[in-house]
Amino acid sequence: FRLLSTFVAVAELKHFGLAADQLHATQPGVSQHIAKLEADLGVKLIERTKRSVELTLAGEVFLTHAKMVLSMLERMKNETQRISQGLQGEVTLGLTPSAINSDIPSRIKEFRRNVPDVNVKLRVHSGVQLKPLLDYGEIDAIITTLPVAEGVYKSTVISQQAMGVAILASHPLARRQHLSIRTLRNEPFIVVPRHEHPKNHDTLIARFRSLGVPLNITAYETSFQNVLARVAIGEGVGIVALGYQSTGPRTVSVLPLRDPDLSWSPIYSIVRADNSQPATARLLEALRAYEGQPSGLEAFSTEAAEHRS
């Protein structure tokens, strides 16, 4: 690399002293480099007199190739560094439909704008379908509202999404601006199975227990879309992402849920613990915005005090 760089400098400047200055080297050192290169090749590359420095025909040809090689080496160096920094590469990201109804899509768009050399490919499936794809290596990471046990996976809260109550639009309670579990204590519920989301399931059970009434579970569903479908056919009410206000069935209303322990649900990034791809790590760090409790929870402080009392 150094011999080629020295040769190109001398060939372009046609002067050993100027080449030495450009390379921050000594003139004898430059002369030694050229002599070694010619000795290695067994070819005269430069004709040097006291007044001029000229390339031989072989030197002219060698100069063209030397520039190409140096350019390639520089590109290899830059690309290697960018890949190691997560600034170049490809990431296949699995999204659940619930994550689409959050701020995650806008953050993906921002990441693509800021880091254009990382090709982000998207796969949208249910959390149940995405997990095997992660294990098979078909996707690099998952963004979901469903947590996973640590171990072979690394799970991180990267955001939160507001939650609401899906209820038939014809239901008398649907006329309200928001709902609470206290208001819904006599309603049948479609709930997420405990093995899929223990924290949310147990929190809902505990909230009903604090009201002194049992939770009437009519069905178990993991996906919000399935919950909405069951609500639409009159099987009960369910807690879904508030983003479904505008995308759910017309016969179903989604109203804000005021209970502070149920009003926000974490959004997780999930990768395998053995994933060492820098681009994946950079993307997930860019998507992460969770800094603790969302400021929106402050609006429910009065309700929280009522629950504690």
CATH number at residue 20: 1.10.10.10
Burial environment of residue 287 by CB neighbours within 10 A (0 to 12, 13 to 18, 19 or more): buried
Domain boundary among 37, 52, 84: 84
* Helix, strand or coil, per DSSP, at residue 42: coil
- Predicted confidence at residue 297, as pLDDT, reads 34
* Helix, strand or coil, per DSSP, at residue 6: helix
Which is higher by pLDDT, 28 or 301? 28
Which is higher by pLDDT, 6 or 98? 6
Domain that holds residue 48: 2-84
How far are the Cα atoms of 10, 17, 57, 73 from residue 66, in angstroms, in the given order? 12, 21, 14, 10
Q: Are residues 265 and 222 in the same domain?
A: yes
Q: Are residues 194 and 293 in the same domain?
A: yes
Over the stretch 200-239, which tens digit does the pLDDT of each residue have?
Answer: 899 999 999 999 999 999 999 988 989 999 999 999 999 9
Q: Structurally, how many domains does the chain consist of?
A: 2
- Assess whether pLDDT exceeds 80 at residue 308: no
Q: Are residues 103 and 40 in the same domain?
A: no
| pTM for the model | 0.69
Over the stretch 111-132, which tens digit does the pLDDT of each residue have?
Answer: 999 999 999 999 999 888 898 9
Q: Are residues 102 and 64 in the same domain?
A: no
C-alpha 115/C-alpha 214 separation (Å) is 51
Q: Are residues 132 and 178 in the same domain?
A: yes
Confidence of residue 158 (pLDDT cuts 50, 70, 90): very high
Q: Are residues 251 and 294 in the same domain?
A: yes
Q: Are residues 69 and 121 in the same domain?
A: no
**Contact predicate 93/107, CB 8 Å:** no
- Predicted confidence at residue 307, as pLDDT, reads 38
- Predicted confidence at residue 289, as pLDDT, reads 64
The arithmetic mean of pLDDT across residues 99-106, rounded, is 87
Q: Are residues 22 and 163 in the same domain?
A: no
Over the stretch 239-298, which tens digit does the pLDDT of each residue have?
Answer: 999 988 888 789 999 999 999 889 998 999 999 999 989 999 999 999 986 444 343 333
